[in-house]
Structure 1
Amino acid sequence: MSAETLEITGAAPAAGGTGRHGLTRYLVVRFLLIIPTVFILVSLVFFLMRATGDPVSAAFGDRLTPGQLQAKLHQAGYDRPLSVQYLDYLRSLAAGDFGHTVTDNQPVTHVLGVYGAATAELALNALVVALLAGVPLGVVAARYRDRAPDAVLRLFAVLTYATPVFFTGLLLKLVLAVRLGWLPASGRASTDVQLFLQDQSSTTGFYLLDALRSGDGTAVTDVLEHAVLPALTLGLLVAGVLLRLVRTNLIGTLSADYVDAARSRGVPSLRLVTRHAARPALIPVVTFLGLQVAGLLGGAVLTETTFEWKGLGYELAHYLTARDFPAVQGIVALFAVVVAVTNFLVDVVAALIDPRVRY
């Protein structure tokens, strides 16, 4: 096939390993990279936690005699050589055994299951806020480039990204919950609604989903009201960066030849932005959102603590203070897997959208 034919049909030139085989090889390599990514992170956490001391001394040191403390250390295995502890930890992790928490003696898998849904719900709510705020405002900023709306929105983007998430949370809590009394200040739901949702025959841990399934409008409203402030706090952090990304990509797309051709045909300005330029400009947003999963999980720790949102971030702060090795390692390992898998899925989407990333 000649170069002219390739240009007319839009087909990609064949290269070694391109096409379907190139995509398969690319995805297999990206999937296999999950293993070293998770391994490196859990190993770093293991050694960093051990450098802070042992959790038995932190939890019981002032209540036990030296003999009793030594017996507990031996029972937990913290008196063994570090290399032995590390290899045992890797073996247990590979078998899906995360151990038991030191402070409250419950399976770490139970902690992950109970509180993981709360963190996932918060992250999804924040993602919705980021999309609803960042994408439309980015389009507006691009359309009014270098004019007053653009300047205001760029300032908004910088402020939302530069302001610490806990400060944003405290400010929203003070104004909207304490001063104005419009929204609840903390928690995932009112006590009676929590008890109602927990009494349902089957629960998912996602309060909004459980409330919708129950058909109780009061429960749905209560859950939504409690979700607003945490979702705003975490979502605005991502919305600022998303706004600037959409603005920059859209400005670049608006200067493309095919957009100039549409403009010369008399296509209205609004349609030019929404129909011709927006879709290509939003392709990089898919990659960006996937990469923001780590930021959302990191921000969830401070957001959940600020609003007493009982999720993995809230529990992680508690277990870090207590130096509870198994709990911290289990939560971080789960975060690492979620981030790595999400990045892999982003690579899949990017490869399907743009074949150039496969080569």
Structure 2
Amino acid sequence: MSTAPSTEAPGTPAPTATAVAPRRSGGGGGLGRYIVVRFLLIIPTIFILVTTVFVVMRATGDPITAALGGRLTPDQLQQRIHEAGYDRPILVQYVEYLGDLLHGDFGTTLSDNRPVTEVLTTFGTATLELAVYALIVAFLVGIPFGLLAASRRDRLPDAVLRVFAILCYATPVFFAGLLLKLVFSVSLGWFPVAGRASTGTEIELQTLDNPSGFYLIDAFRTGDPDAVGDVLMHAVLPAVALGLLTAGVFLRLVRTNVIGTLSTGYVTAARSRGVREGRLLRKHAWRPALIPIITVIGLQVALLLSGAVLTETTFEWKGLGFQLAHYLQARDFVAVQGIVVLIAVVVALTNFVVDVIAALIDPRVRY
């Protein structure tokens, strides 16, 4: 049997089969797909949260009886229940409730007959402002101390800071607030005892055209340095009390991740080339440890909002937490339901934003 002569020149190596790697889609497509998927996941998350809140609120009976049962006659009570539609089947109430939520209608409070939407917009800015202050405190305390603990691993500063982190996280926020008030307001007189601003400053802020509800922003709009200073002085103690709760988490997280990064091969190689420890910490170890910290921020928002209830009550900071405690005492479950649903939506959206930021910083998150 004859074979076809080779057309290759003598001495030429035979061609080898090469595997063609599949082309990977561009980073932009991967990021876009990741954002769309994460955003679509918000819908079932919010649906489950809204359903859970609705079922829990109805487990104790209708809201009218819970709030006004001892103040109305049986006939008046039944009339109010019928007018509000709480005598209909629970499934009908649930479908109507979802429809109202889609139109931005959270119902009307039973204790003071106000639209719940008005309560949310009026007091929500105060809670958001306090949460931002607390996050700033958490960053300023948790991140530098976490870096310091990592750089002094298994030494006295590390041990002290780890104990400090545990105390920050384990101490009840209302106890921390009362302690701060006792020391810095009552004993030393450095800061105001309660409120978002003094009475004169509040009147000045409320007379502005279209006030934003964020006292610090409105204080800057007045152009009055005394008003700005007064708002900041009132914010210090509530922000520290709530911020330390999250600072303990950040401190331990930064310490753990930076220690892990410092033991990697490229940091060891940089250290062998004579790079100073301070530069290693700032340039090489800090940035890779940033992703877990950003991811945890979304979880800490839920912790801040839950802690805001006790913080605002302790310092009479009139936000959603303060109003939630008031409506719980009044057994106004319509208002409570609206506030809890809003907090759940804010937490879900915050986690979505944090996931997107993490994907922008680290492409590995997208796949």
| TM-score, structure 2 as length reference | 0.91
- The whole-number CA distance in structure 2 between the counterparts of 1:102 and 1:60 is 8
Given the alignment of the two structures, is residue 161 of structure 1 paired with residue 169 of structure 2, yes or no? yes
- The Cα shift of 1:79 comes to 1.7
Q: Residue in 1 aligned with 2:254? A: 246
- The Cα shift of 1:105 comes to 1.0
Q: Which moved more, 1:149-158 or 1:19-28?
A: 19-28
TM-superposition CA deviations, 1:207-261 (whole Å, max 9, x none): 0111112111111111111101110011000000100111111111111222112
Please, which of 183, 201, 204 is the counterpart of residue 196 of structure 1?
A: 204
Given the alignment of the two structures, is residue 172 of structure 1 paired with residue 180 of structure 2, yes or no? yes
Please, which of 212, 217, 237 is the counterpart of residue 225 of structure 2?
A: 217
Q: Residue in 2 aligned with 1:83? A: 91
Equivalent pair of 1:319/1:327 in contact (CA under 8 Å): yes
- The whole-number CA distance in structure 1 between the counterparts of 2:111 and 2:143 is 44
Q: Residue in 2 aligned with 1:95? A: 103
Q: Residue in 2 aligned with 1:44? A: 52
Equivalent pair of 1:98/1:107 in contact (CA under 8 Å): yes
TM-superposition CA deviations, 1:25-84 (whole Å, max 9, x none): 221111011111111111111111112233323333223221111111111112222111
Superposed counterparts of 1:1-359, under 5 Å: 19-359=27-367
- The whole-number CA distance in structure 1 between the counterparts of 2:352 and 2:263 is 32
Amino acid aligned to 1:350: A
Equivalent pair of 1:301/1:314 in contact (CA under 8 Å): yes
TM-superposition CA deviations, 1:139-195 (whole Å, max 9, x none): 110111100000000000001001111111111122211222221111111111111
Describe the SS at the equivalent of 1:113.
helix
Amino acid aligned to 2:255: R
- The Cα shift of 1:14 comes to 5.6
Structure label with greater radius of gyration: 2
> Could you say if the C-alpha distance between residues 95 and 202 of structure 1 is closer, same or farther in structure 2, counting changes exceeding 3 Å?
closer
Q: Residue in 1 aligned with 2:16? A: none
Q: Which moved more, 1:23-32 or 1:59-68?
A: 59-68
Amino acid aligned to 2:304: L
Q: Which moved more, 1:270-279 or 1:235-244?
A: 270-279
Unaligned runs of at least 5 residues, structure 2 = 1-20
Amino acid aligned to 2:52: L
Q: Residue in 1 aligned with 2:17? A: none
Amino acid aligned to 2:355: D
- The whole-number CA distance in structure 1 between the counterparts of 2:22 and 2:311 is 49
Amino acid aligned to 2:196: R
Equivalent pair of 1:101/1:326 in contact (CA under 8 Å): yes
Q: Which has the higher helix share?
A: 1
Equivalent pair of 1:49/1:323 in contact (CA under 8 Å): no
Identity %: 68
> Could you say if the C-alpha distance between residues 150 and 14 of structure 1 is closer, same or farther in structure 2, counting changes exceeding 3 Å?
farther
Amino acid aligned to 2:275: V
Describe the SS at the equivalent of 1:280.
coil
> Could you say if the C-alpha distance between residues 15 and 97 of structure 1 is closer, same or farther in structure 2, counting changes exceeding 3 Å?
farther
| TM-score, structure 1 as length reference | 0.93
- The Cα shift of 1:17 comes to 5.9
Describe the SS at the equivalent of 2:286.
helix
- The whole-number CA distance in structure 2 between the counterparts of 1:267 and 1:282 is 21
Describe the SS at the equivalent of 2:287.
helix
Describe the SS at the equivalent of 1:33.
helix
Alpha-carbon RMSD? 1.5
Describe the SS at the equivalent of 2:61.
coil
- The whole-number CA distance in structure 2 between the counterparts of 1:117 and 1:171 is 26
Q: Residue in 1 aligned with 2:4? A: none
- The Cα shift of 1:275 comes to 2.1
- The Cα shift of 1:21 comes to 2.7
- The Cα shift of 1:24 comes to 2.1
Q: Which moved more, 1:51-60 or 1:14-23?
A: 14-23
Amino acid aligned to 1:313: G
> Could you say if the C-alpha distance between residues 149 and 14 of structure 1 is closer, same or farther in structure 2, counting changes exceeding 3 Å?
farther
Describe the SS at the equivalent of 1:319.
helix
Q: Which moved more, 1:324-333 or 1:296-305?
A: 324-333
- The whole-number CA distance in structure 1 between the counterparts of 2:252 and 2:315 is 28
- The whole-number CA distance in structure 2 between the counterparts of 1:17 and 1:335 is 37
Q: Which moved more, 1:316-325 or 1:30-39?
A: 316-325
